Every structure is written in C-alpha cells, then in structure tokens.
C-alpha cells in the first residue's frame, strides 16, 4: 500500500504503530485517506500505550473532581480541579438529555482523557 510505513515500536508497550502517510495525494483527499486508514487500524488494534502497567485506550477517562469557575458559550465550562489544573469541559449527553443545569460554583466530576488533559466531559454534578 503506497504511503504506509512502520514507525519504531512504542516505548511503553513495544507495539509497532503504523504511520499513515499519503505521499501520492495532497490536501483534503490526503487527510480523508489518513482518517479512513486510522479507523481501519483502530478497528483491529485498540490499545497502543500502557501507563503504570494499565493499558489505556482512547475511551478510558480519568475522573477528576473540581469546581465550575465560568460558563462559556457553546455549552463549555471552565472547571478548576482540586489538583490545581484547569479543564475546559462540556456536559455529557446524559446530563443534557435530562436537562441537568450546571452553574458556576457547582462541584462536578470531570472525565479527562489521558491524551488531552486540558479538555473533558462533565459526567456528574454533586448536590
């Protein structure tokens, strides 16, 4: 397959992660081809990295407690975590479905991705 080559093995787990390149295409077609190929690869191999011996996939979230500091447009909330980190979070689908309101000052639980620790999903509002 043109444009496909292997990168060195992952430092944590030793998997060889294929790197998708589109040498013969340019622009939007190259991006679309890369996304399709990564979806095919992700369908077969879900776990790439391990942290402290625990395998992490893209869907694993780290639950963090915090306080809502500000409400931004587009349904985004700025949350100050207990660890001192600030996270830009949005409401989970279930909280939107049941119309659970979140206002500044509320204590919430935020699911943070290990791959992008500055964005998250608000999954619970404490009473």
Q: What tokens were used for 68?
A: 């809502």
The DSSP result for 17-44, as a single string, is EEEE--TT--THHHHHHHHHHHHHHHHH
Question: Could you tell me the two tokens for 127?
Answer: 């009473």
pLDDT in tens, the chain (127 residues): 455 444 455 544 555 544 444 444 555 665 555 555 544 444 444 344 455 556 666 678 999 999 999 999 999 999 999 999 999 999 999 999 999 999 999 999 999 988 889 999 999 999 7
Buried b / exposed e across 14-25, counting CB within 10 Å, b at 16+?
eeeeeebebeee
Dist CA 25 CA 33 (whole Å): 9
Nearest alpha-carbon partner for 88 in 124, 112, 59, 123: 112
pTM: 0.58
Query: Where do the domains of the chain lie?
Result: 4-56, 62-125
Answer yes or no: CATH 2.40.160.40 is held by domain 62-125: no
């Amino acid at each position: 397959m043109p444009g496909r080559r292997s990168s060195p093995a992952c430092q944590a787990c030793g998997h060889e992660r294929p790197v998708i390149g589109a040498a013969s295409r340019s622009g939007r077609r190259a991006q679309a081809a890369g996304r399709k190929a990564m979806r095919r690869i992700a369908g077969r191999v879900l776990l790439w990295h391990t942290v402290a011996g625990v395998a992490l996939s893209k869907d694993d979230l780290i639950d963090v407690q915090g306080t809502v500091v500000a409400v931004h447009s587009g349904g985004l909330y700025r949350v100050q975590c207990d660890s001192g980190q600030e996270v830009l979070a949005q409401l989970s689908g279930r909280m939107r479905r049941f119309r659970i309101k979140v206002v500044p000052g509320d204590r919430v639980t935020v699911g943070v991705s290990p791959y992008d620790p500055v964005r998250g999903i608000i999954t619970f509002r404490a009473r």
